[in-house]
Amino acid sequence: MKWRRFNGEPIQLPIKEEVRQAIIRETGKGFHLKVCIGTDSQVKGLETEFATVIVFLREGHGGFMFIHNDKTRDVYSIKERMLIEVAKSIEIAYELCDMFTQYDVDMEVHADINTNPQFKSNLALREAMGYILGMGFAFKAKPDAFASSCCADKVVN
């Protein structure tokens, strides 16, 4: 899995080690961290592109993020695509959660799913919420899911 910084610089280390170093560096500077993980997708022609982000918030001092993009030619219904977004976020959250516990960093999983039933993505809300909460993670949906609906949304090419 290839990850990069927001400026495009590739991350050379395995993502778990890069996250560990970021936590140690930022807490060493006295920042209280919170991490939000989210995924967004966009269908363009025959391809669906996914962007997963790990957003680090420095309480009262901005933040930064790590980004992973991937593309597929698989065709999904809107509900399937929303649940695949959630699965991608959970996959990375699960890989990193023991480290967040070790360093006492709060973590949330954000789903790009609207809580308003008038939106198509709402079809996946119950399943997504159950999936995320069932894994033991804190859950946010739109309009509070900024990691997926703002950050990942900006880096889906």
Domain boundaries, the chain: 4-155
Q: Which CATH architecture has domain 4-155?
A: 2-Layer Sandwich (3.30)
* Total-model pTM: 0.94
- pLDDT of residue 2 exceeding 80, the answer is yes
Q: Which residues of 63-97 are buried (b: 16+ CB within 10 A; e: fewer)?
A: bebbbbbeeeeeeeeebebbbbbbebbbebbeebb
Binning pLDDT at 50, 70 and 90, where does residue 132 land?
Answer: very high
- pLDDT of residue 127 exceeding 80, the answer is yes
Angle at 89 between CA 60 and CA 69, to 5 degrees: 95
Question: What would the pLDDT profile of 3-14 be if each residue is shown by its tens digit?
Answer: 999 999 999 999
- pLDDT of residue 1 exceeding 90, the answer is no
